[in-house]
Chains A and B, each alone.
Chain A
């Protein structure tokens, strides 16, 4: 049995390095930026026409949290080629599988993470806003210098959850023809008729990746909570 595992590892790991990890890392980075923008727009107090933008972002969060990830992948990869817009996309919107994957995973992560970030920002005591404003800081200065650095610490555990979740969710990319780890394990299993061994092997690889991420999380938590320690 072990020689099956060993002989399949190079292919699996190379698929992980080529697709699984880049999909997860790029999507998470883009998703985080999107999440921060979304959270800031949703907590902003600006009135007037800006309320429309706020509504759009609320709709976005609702949409991606209310539909299955795999359906989102299918719509973007298999569905959009049939979306014909005169002048802009006369032949439909055809995306590379990897591009489609990045778009969907980023938007999906962004929707969930924006709620995490919003909650973290709102958890910072009102006194912090007041103290910053009392020394004459603007709202933007207060956000970026006082509130977000503290909110980052609060949101670290739930954001790590999102990232770990995303690493596993990239296995769904196999359904839109991306040859990531899970897809490769399926292909090998189809050749050697060893589905149990192959799927357990790929499961172990996901577990190793996620365990590494958990360690990174602990390390980051240690750094970001340094200031809370009661002793010098």
Chain B
């Protein structure tokens, strides 16, 4: 389990996360939703220590950190082996082939031998439906293909949790669908996922738990159905604002 307690993060004078306390369960998909600038991406990135909150506690599946104290390199690496990030703009390594992108972490961080790393990389590529792209470079892929490679790259590290930061925001709807299918598949296999997304329709499909974040605070945390059936005015307003039926209601 990932657990945050009283976590606060400030950029300059702007407090992005205000004493956040929550947890992310194993083998569940937690979806973070909320308006732009609400702090949901910062919250996600804090789980991988790409952002360092100033205060609060973080229990990363047994690794206990106090953000107010110095976090050692060893602790950072340990957290990053349990959690993997998938970014909005993929961030594949452009100078390496698809296969090498996936093998990079296992070979150079986990020190696996190349043969077994390659074998596993090919299996993962097969899983995301891109076995024929092993020798292509990232620039030769469509956005949807690139994001699927990024997902395979994160899986290669055998993480306990995969953290996805708006994984389909940069994609056309049809490319988005191919990525969402892969994620749904992972969710079904009980891979622990934490996803930041604007796509409520997808959240409705994939989420076990929803965190609704607004203004740096958790406004709602609970089961998916409780969220979508909520009678709370603010939640209803948000759901309507994010879906197309809002268009017809306004006129």
Contact = CB atoms under 8 A, between A and B. Distances in A.
A145 B157 CA distance: 17
Interface stretch (A102-110, A127-135, A198-206): A127-135
A136 B77 contact: yes
A174 interface: no
A92 interface: no
Q: Which among A136, A226, A227 has the greatest number of chain B C-beta atoms within 10 A?
A: A136
Nearest to A224: B95
B94 A131 contact: no
A158 B87 CA distance: 32
Contacts of A138: 73, 77
Contact of A227 (B87, B94, B154): B94
A177 B84 CA distance: 61
Interface residues of B, number: 30
Contacts of B135: 232
B93 interface: yes
A228 interface: yes
Given A133-B80, A134-B80, A227-B137, A141 B108 contact: yes
Interface residues of A, number: 25
B241 interface: no
Given A135-B80, A135-B109, A130 B87 contact: yes
A230 B154 CA distance: 24
B152 to A, nearest CB: 12
Given A127-B89, A131-B93, A150-B95, A232 B140 contact: yes
A227 B95 contact: yes
Contacts of A232: 135-136, 140
A71 to B, nearest CB: 41
Interface in A129-177: 130-138, 141, 145-146, 149-150, 153
Contacts of A131: 85, 87, 91-93
User: Which 5 pairs across A and B sit closest by C-beta, in order of nearness?
Assistant: A131-B91, A135-B105, A134-B85, A127-B91, A136-B109
25 contacts: A128-B93, A130-B85, A131-B85, A131-B91, A131-B92, A131-B93, A134-B48, A134-B80, A135-B84, A135-B104, A136-B81, A136-B105, A138-B77, A145-B104, A146-B93, A226-B137, A227-B94, A227-B95, A227-B96, A227-B137, A227-B138, A228-B139, A229-B139, A229-B140, A232-B135
Given A125-B91, A135-B154, A145-B108, 4 more contacts: A130-B87, A135-B105, A136-B80, A227-B138
